[in-house]
Amino acid sequence: MVATAFKISMIANKGSPSGLSKIFPLTASDVAGEFLIFPSGSSEVVLNGEADVYIRDVVLSSAGVDTSTLEFFINGMAEGTKLLNATSIATTVSRPFQQSPFRVPRGATIKIKQLA
């Protein structure tokens, strides 16, 4: 099967779950085991700043065919959060992270992996 690219937006808040928002546009290739790509062209981003960051939402333009789940890595270690792509499509009104954002320590490196 040919890998189809789709877009993902990760929304993070600085300092608290209701702090200043930043949107990270990512691209995904629908290949299991691959990491999402940030605008820099890298598969990771360092969340610099004077405060922790809270991942508040992840919005997909469409769900992958060969990748049904996203897994988060913080500083190279699996964070334990896995996200079902079907629940995060842009047309879904209530996505999981909106209800329960998770904290990423300031200065941490984040990567997001696609799983089958």
CA distance 109 to 66: 26
Span 91-108, pLDDT tens digits:
877 777 777 888 999 999
Place of tokens 């937006």: 9
> Does the model's pTM come out above 0.75?
yes
The arithmetic mean of pLDDT across residues 41-68, rounded, is 87
Q: What percent of the chain has pLDDT over 90?
A: 47
CA distance 110 to 104: 8
Within 8 A by CB and 6+ apart from 59, the residues are 8, 9, 11, 88, 89, 90, 95
Kindly state the tokens that stand for 79: 């964070």
